[in-house]
A and B are shown apart, each in its own frame.
Chain A
Amino acid sequence: MSRLAFRDLCVWFGEGEGRVDAVKHATFEVPSGASFGLVGESGSGKSTILRALMGLAPNWSGEMVVGERRLGAKRDRAFYKEVQMVFQDPYASLHPRHSVDQVLSEVLKLHGFSDIDRRVNALLADVGLGPGYRFRYPHQLSGGQRQRVAIARALAPEPSVLLLDEPTSALDVSVQAEVLNLLTDLREEHGLTYLMVSHDLAVIAHMCEATAVMQNGEIVEMLSVEDMRAMRAGHPYTRHLLESASGYNPNAEQMA
């Protein structure tokens, strides 16, 4: 059973001569409970797919299906309760004047929860932040802590699908691993479906069971995680990506 399905999705920005086609005829499915990666270089349209799904990119055609529901132009609150997104840059995704408590309790209120006080603490515990962080403002938090707050915010409505837009690329290498492990744990605990965007094949290989490789707005190849590990790639662009990723691997150098 597929949780998310994209059929012939096109997304563009601007009209007439200024029109830029960011995503061209993308078709793929994410099974329920799976973790699916979208990989590609900057500007390949991978984040745009997430934004189109969330209703942040208004110009699109094709078909997007969440569960049983075909999406139209508008998203209702029920959709946002089911699908949530974690943004790339935790320095930009938290309101500078809102404390952690304000951020989380507002979201809980919007979704009509009543036991807000208990839930805020539970959410913080979920993402590995103690109650001492509850009344801090973003400028009193490190990048990794901010991203944990952003993850807690996305988890607040108890969604079943989480879209991750390069959730670790703005973070230190040491913190990246922590956040990725947290995301892996949360997926197990809450039975979440992930659709994850990254330019880093190592991150995708660590997190996802299958991935789509994108170039210039088109999906050029679908890979399973076994294919990735065995460096089996049909498309030259994918081979190029895999090779450049393994170039950073110290073990690969020893073998050579």
Chain B
Amino acid sequence: MAAILEADDLSFSVRGSTLVRRASLALEEGATTIVVGPNGAGKSTLLKLLTGELSPLQGAVRMDGAALPQIPAWELACRRAVMVQNQRLAFPFSVYEVARLGLEGVGRAQSRARKGEIIAQALETAGVIGLAGRQYQTLSGGEQQRVQFARALCQLEAGRSVAQRQILFLDEPIASLDLCHQLSLLDAARSIAAQGAAVLVVLHDLNLAVTYADRLVVMHEGAIVAQGEPSAILDDNLLRGVFRVSLSFSRLPPAGQPFLLPQQHLTPIQPGGVVPLRAASA
């Protein structure tokens, strides 16, 4: 497997507080990477650095060898799609129009018929094709989230005619979804990875993270404290230190997949508080 994106020693801070410190990771072709960590651990900031929305104060992000700032915005949009947490929309677009926004930048060259195909396919995958004519603002939070997912899928599909090696970034994509749609969205993301793209997802549900991740990245106070194959890196000690909960930690047969059941929370640490942690393992 070859890395599509490589981040090397990224740091970022705003007004003296460090949001990301010395983070390094690689997103590989066909792999789903899941980032977990408590609130304020720097997950979203890391995602912004990886997508080019923010520039790191230190370190660099490279896509297929080219530094991110050197890639023109349009080309970058062909190579990666981003679904952010913000779901607001200023004016009352229909669901169909919101999905079509995914094509405003990268879909210029596509014919009208092809655009229609791409949008229909994306709405279908995200399970919102029945809502196509509805006004976006009248949808529930979960439905809006799926429409945003469809928009990202549109962008990815249109970009594929320009760039084959693509990345899909999803920032807490299932935060408002019911169980069925949580799984169907993550399945869709994984099938995109299966087609050769790299997928990076920020998640809170540790069990889903373990189930879907080829590679798990654990963040704490801006730093990546562990990353690797989920069952290899997760243990009681790490989870207690990072998430401040005691868990009953078991392995499910037959593959020995880790299963976590939270028992009780420990005292939450204040930002900047010091907690003993084991050293980051690359």
A pairs with B? no
Seen from chain A, the residues whose Cβ lies within 8 Å of a Cβ on chain B are: none
